[in-house]
């Protein structure tokens, strides 16, 4: 594994920053892949979380051979954090830092760009609010090397709830989901969460993997690519990507690879926009992930109606009325847009 002195790391970071600022970074042909592990992280104006992630990455043994950072920040705070952390203790064998403007911002665009810069056959993709626990990377890579048919291995999020909420039990009772098995996707448009899996050697198969806590086979991830039509907050992009990835191989969660997801409200849209994007993207996923049987479409419509009703009941909770009304307006906005698109299609226009 190559090593990198702190001074050289900082010079590489600054050099690549200048290239990106001058808009000279092109999507060059993907380099040849060596055996090893690269890490990509896409970030935007969350320097404190990014620093926390880098500090956890520095504790991983063995360390990854490459760290690719794609930064959509409008200021230099994230770059400064990277320079400080690398200068204090090299966090990877080689750091590749890229700054993108508004046209390249967005988690799906940033991830696609990062994939073109990866130089190893395995690539771990992490959100900037992740904290890696000891041997997380090693366990993810171990699962890949021992199982050639696996295309993706996710880590278990240690601070996820152990038991499912009452809402999930209601979804099961109302037949929105036929099972509460973790990591499943159903034609109702609803996917079950992974939750907190007890530590152990098991590899648990699923239909989808959390995109901010997963290691993919690089060639497969490049072949599939992230759907850049998932703009904004990109609700559901991990699910959509996983549903296409599973055509190329098995996807599993490693119960021995552990991390924390310390989410923060920063960067999220308001409830109206979030509801609009979530429903719009669910409709898109339902359209492209299976056939158009009437029974399947009816189950999806039923599932979305139940989802909306489960959210609507929050209107009676103290302090939640305004947020719930915003959510319902977002759902209504999406339905109006879908009806308009359908009408245009029937009239011979572009759907």
pLDDT digits (tens, 9 = 90+) for 268-288: 668 888 889 889 989 989 988
Q: Residue 109: its pLDDT value, please?
A: 94
DSSP characters for 218-238? HHHHHHH---TT--TT-TTHH
Q: What are phi and psi of 62, to 5 degrees?
A: -70, 155
Give the span between the Cα atoms of 16 and 207, in whole angstroms. 37
Whether 17 shows a pLDDT value over 60: the answer reads no
Q: Which helix (H) or strand (E) holds 260?
A: strand 250-261
Using 50, 70 and 90 to split pLDDT, how confident is the model at 187?
A: very high
User: What mean pLDDT comes out for the span 172-185?
Assistant: 95
Tokens 């403007």: give the residue. 101
- Select the more confidently predicted residue: 64 or 319: 64
Q: Residue 233: its pLDDT value, please?
A: 58
Q: Residue 4: its pLDDT value, please?
A: 35
Give the span between the Cα atoms of 89 and 132, in whole angstroms. 17
Give the span between the Cα atoms of 288 and 145, in whole angstroms. 31
User: What mean pLDDT comes out for the span 152-160?
Assistant: 95
Give the span between the Cα atoms of 131 and 102, in whole angstroms. 27
Whether 318 shows a pLDDT value over 90: the answer reads no
Q: Which of 278, 181, 205, 192 is nearest to 237 (CA)?
A: 278
Rounded to two decimals, what is the model's pTM?
0.86
Q: Which of 204, 228, 65, 68 is nearest to 147 (CA)?
A: 204
Give the span between the Cα atoms of 195 and 174, in whole angstroms. 21
Helices and strands counted in the chain (H then E): 11, 9
Tokens 């990835």: give the residue. 245
- Select the more confidently predicted residue: 128 or 346: 128
Give the span between the Cα atoms of 247 and 151, in whole angstroms. 10
Within a 13 Å sphere around the CA of 279, how many CA atoms are in the beta-carbon half?
25
Mean pLDDT, the chain, rounded, equals 86
- What is the share, in percent, of the chain residues with pLDDT greater than 90? 64
User: What mean pLDDT comes out for the span 204-218?
Assistant: 96
- Select the more confidently predicted residue: 162 or 68: 68
Whether 2 shows a pLDDT value over 50: the answer reads no
User: What mean pLDDT comes out for the span 186-196?
Assistant: 93
Contacts 24+ apart (CB under 8 A), 58-63: 58/85, 58/89, 58/90, 58/91, 59/132, 59/134, 60/132, 60/134, 60/135, 60/136, 60/137, 60/138, 61/135, 61/138, 62/1, 62/137, 62/138, 63/1, 63/91, 63/92, 63/93, 63/137
């Amino acid at each position: 594994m190559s090593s990198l002195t702190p001074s050289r790391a900082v010079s590489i970071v600054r050099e690549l920053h200048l290239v990106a600022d001058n808009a000279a970074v092109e999507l060059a042909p993907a380099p040849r892949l060596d055996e090893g592990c690269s890490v990509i992280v896409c970030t935007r104006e969350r320097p404190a979380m990014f620093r926390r992630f880098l500090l956890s990455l520095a504790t991983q043994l063995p360390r990854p051979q490459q760290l690719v950072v794609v930064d959509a920040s409008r200021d230099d705070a994230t770059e400064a954090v990277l320079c400080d952390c690398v200068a204090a203790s090299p966090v990877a064998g080689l750091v590749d830092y890229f700054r993108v403007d508004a046209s390249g911002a967005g988690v799906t665009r940033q991830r696609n760009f990062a994939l073109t810069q990866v130089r190893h056959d395995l690539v771990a993709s992490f959100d900037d609010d992740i904290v890696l626990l000891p041997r997380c990377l090693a366990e993810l890579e171990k699962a890949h090397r021992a199982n050639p048919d696996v295309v993706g291995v996710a880590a278990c999020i240690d601070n996820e709830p152990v038991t499912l909420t009452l809402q999930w039990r209601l979804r099961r009772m109302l037949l929105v989901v036929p099972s509460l098995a973790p990591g499943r996707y159903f034609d109702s448009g609803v996917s079950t969460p992974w939750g907190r899996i007890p530590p152990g050697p098991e590899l648990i198969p699923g239909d989808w993997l959390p995109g901010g806590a997963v290691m993919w086979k690089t060639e497969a991830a490049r072949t599939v690519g992230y759907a850049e039509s998932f703009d904004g907050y990109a609700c559901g992009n991990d699910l959509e990507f996983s549903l296409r990835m599973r055509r190329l191989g098995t996807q599993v969660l490693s119960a021995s690879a552990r991390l924390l997801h310390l989410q923060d409200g920063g960067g999220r849209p308001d409830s109206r926009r979030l509801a609009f994007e979530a429903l719009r993207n669910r409709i898109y996923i339902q359209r492209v992930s299976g056939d158009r049987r009437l029974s399947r479409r009816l189950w999806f419509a039923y599932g979305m109606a139940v989802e909306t009703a489960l959210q609507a009941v929050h209107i009676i909770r103290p302090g939640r009325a305004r947020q719930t009304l915003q959510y319902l307006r977002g759902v209504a906005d999406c339905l109006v847009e879908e009806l308009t698109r359908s009408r245009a299609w029937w009239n011979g226009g572009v759907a």
